Structure 1
C-alpha cells in the first residue's frame, strides 16, 4: 500500500509539545491550522474558507528541534504521510483520527 504524502502550510495552534517514549525516543506533536483563501472578484476581496486543523507528530532529533523552535502562531510548512489511528476514548467509545506523520517541518517564509 502506498502512503498518502501531504504538504500543509498553516499556523501552529499551540507550542509544539515534546515527550519521550519508554525507550527514550523523542516525539513532538501539535496542530497546524490551515485556512484556504480565495479571491472574490465581485467583492474584490480575499475570503477565508473553512479552517482545517491537522494533528501532527515528528520523531527523533527533529522532534527536539521542532519543539525548541516552533511556538504558538508560527507559520509553518510541513510534509509527511497521512496516518489513520483508531483508539477507545475514556468513555469506551471507538474513535478514529487522521494525523500527519511529519518528515520535514519548518517556518514558512
Structure 2
C-alpha cells in the first residue's frame, strides 16, 4: 500500500462473519474483532487492561473465504486500510465510523493450530474446471521419478 494508510491488527473475532452480495453479485463480508491491550501502571505496578473493537469489511473471494473459515472466538490477523464513513441521522446529528477494509485475513497460530485448504483458482470470474487442469498435465506420468 503506497498511500501510507495501512493497519494491522491481531485479535479475536467477536461477531460471526456476515456474507452478503451486491446487486452485481460481488461478495462482501463484515465481522468484528476485539483487540486486547494489557500494561502495568508505572505508579501502582498493577495490571490494567483495555479492549478496542474494530469492524472489518472484506470483498470478493476474501469475503467468501472469511465467511467459510472464521467463527466467533477465532484469533486473527487483519491487514488493510482504514476507511471513514460519515452520515447524518434523521435528527440532524453528524456521525462517523472508522472501518478496516481488509486486504488479508489470516489465523493466528500463537495459541492454536490450523490447516490450509486451497480453493480452486478462478480465471476471468469463472471456476477453472477439473477438465482444463487435466489438459495442462497430459503426457506427464506422475508415477515416474522426476530426477
Structure 1 residue runs without a partner (length 5+): none
- Equivalents in 2 of 1:69, 1:26: separation in Å? 15
Which residue in the other structure is 1:21 paired with?
22
For the structure 1 residues 95 and 15, does the alpha-carbon distance in structure 2 shift closer, same or farther, using more than 3 Å as the test?
same
Q: Which aligned pairs between 1:32-51 and structure 2 lie closer than 5 A?
A: 32-38=33-39, 47-51=47-51
Conserved? CA contact 1:3–1:82, under 8 Å? no
1:3-40 Cα deviation digits (max 9, x unpaired): 42100000011211100011110000011100112357
Choose between structure 1 and 2: higher strand proportion. 1
- Aligned counterparts of 1:69 and 1:92: Cα–Cα separation in 2: 40
Q: Is the 8 A contact 1:33 1:54 kept in 2?
A: yes
Tell me, in whole angstroms, the C-alpha distance in 2 between the residues paired with 1:16 and 1:106: 14
TM-score (normalizing by structure 1)? 0.85
Distance between the aligned counterparts of 1:106 and 1:51, measured in 2? 20
Distance apart, 1:86 and its partner CA: 0.7
Q: Which runs of 4+ in 1 moved over 4 A?
A: 39-43
Q: Which runs of 5+ in 2 are unaligned?
A: 110-147
Q: Which has the higher contact order (CA 8 A, sep 6+)?
A: 1
**Paired positions, count:** 107
Paired residues of 2:41 and 2:48 also in contact (CA < 8 A)? no
TM-score by length of 2: 0.65
